[in-house]
Amino acid sequence: MRRTIAKARTAQSLLRYHVQAGNIVRPDACEECGATDRRIEAAHFNYDEPLRVRWLCVPCHRRWDKSEPKQATIIVQRREKFTGRKVERG
């Protein structure tokens, strides 16, 4: 589990670095619904490809993660169900 979550954090860090460096531009609109009045987040297809993302608003990102969960998401959900406590997400 730690290895999978570490992979997710590494992917998020690498993407954040490239966005801050100006190598990748965060769009102003959600790729799914076109919303411009919401926070736009990077949604990873796979943590093995950290720079391959979809840019989605928070509601669309949550819907997409539920419909196509990644390994780290599945592991966190199982842990939360087992312990009855939410895992803090960074």
The 10s digit of each residue's pLDDT in 12-22 is 999 999 999 99
- Token pair, residue 69, equals 């969960």
- Bridge partners for 84 per DSSP: none
- Nearest to 36, CA basis, from 51, 56, 64: 56
pLDDT at 85: 77
- Nearest to 65, CA basis, from 35, 41, 34: 41
- The DSSP secondary structure of 56-76, one letter per residue, reads EEHHHHHHHHHHS--HHHHHH
The 10s digit of each residue's pLDDT in 24-76 is 999 999 999 999 999 999 999 988 899 999 999 999 999 998 887 765 555 56
